[in-house]
Amino acid sequence: MDIPTPPTKFDACHLKIKRAEKHLLELQDEIQSFLAATPYLIRSKINAQGHIVYETIERNPVPLHLSTLIGDVVHNLRSSLDILATELAKLNGNISKRSLKETYFPITIDLDSLEKTRTSKISRMSKEAQDLIIKIAPHKGGRSEILYNLHHLDIADKHATLIPVGAAYASRSVGVGVGSADNPISEAYPEGIEIELSVTFQMPEVTYPLRDGSVVATIFEVGDARSTANVDVNFGLVFSGLGFFEGEPVLDALAATLVYVARVVHTFEVKFLNQASPPQSPQTQTP
């Protein structure tokens, strides 16, 4: 008969993180399915200035239900930190319901506000645990600002839907031809004459949010060279308009946050429980 291994103090934190990872993998599948259904097309046209403009055609909106999966990832990660805080309070001998109810993992606007939580949210922890939290610096502009973003995403999810927006990533390829069959390049441009590339682009690194008619690239043709140019566009989903993770791919931002939270928990395990197995990255891929 197998005797189950007794849980460690921080097992509940890992259960929340594993749940977040499960939702993140579900989100990845849903995003890949959405993008595989070709929700956006690209059309090119000549504008009034004679430039070639590439713009989007939106065929399908971003599914509303993605917001629930995003919220589930975010909430489980934030909860794992609060569970960590209560376990640290227990390790310091504070086990009453009132003590645990008033204990939270602090995430603040600045370092001064974080320091003040020593007398409130983290007062039941040992000074050593408090000092480590201050060192981790989970505040805006701190070394753990990613936790500040997580905290406010969790708050936003309680009051609004966290719907990502479509984003376009354009790349370019250019071919330049000069002269003609009757006037080949060697005659059109005698040896020693430099040929200047005659195509210039206006192409943002990423264009979002995507709507019908969103311009993802513009080609300006100048000079007398006859040029060919192609624009290739890939699509993804990014955060926008929330004030946090602005323009970042949804899967990348959430995966990075998950790994960071796992490392924070691991830091306290090493310090207080002498466990030393580093957390692994979830197997997510950005479309």
In the chain, where the domains are located = 11-46+64-164+245-272, 165-238
Q: What is the pLDDT of residue 197?
A: 46
Measure the CA–CA gap between 69 and 255, rounded to whole angstroms. Answer: 13
Q: What is the pLDDT of residue 279?
A: 57
Q: What is the pLDDT of residue 275?
A: 54
Q: Which of 58, 22, 37 is nearest to 287 (CA)?
A: 37
Per residue in 179-208, pLDDT tens? 444 444 444 444 544 444 445 677 788 999
The token duo for 66 is 């993605």
Dihedral sign for Cα 158, 164, 165, 171, please.
positive
Banded model confidence at residue 282, pLDDT cuts 50, 70, 90: low
Chain centroid offset of residue 76 CA: 17
Of 78-92, 223-237, 257-271, the range with the lowest mean pLDDT is 223-237
Q: What is the pLDDT of residue 175?
A: 52
* pLDDT for 236 beyond 90: yes
Measure the CA–CA gap between 221 and 223, rounded to whole angstroms. Answer: 7
Give percent of the chain above pLDDT 90: 69
Summarize the confidence of residues 48-64 as an average pLDDT: 93
Banded model confidence at residue 260, pLDDT cuts 50, 70, 90: very high
Q: What is the pLDDT of residue 221?
A: 63
In contact, 194 and 274? CB cutoff 8 Å = no
Summarize the confidence of residues 90-114 as an average pLDDT: 96
Q: What is the pLDDT of residue 220?
A: 78
Higher local confidence (pLDDT), 120 or 226:
120
Per residue in 125-177, pLDDT tens? 999 999 999 999 999 999 999 999 999 999 999 988 999 999 999 887 655 44
The token duo for 68 is 């629930």
Q: What is the pLDDT of residue 180?
A: 45
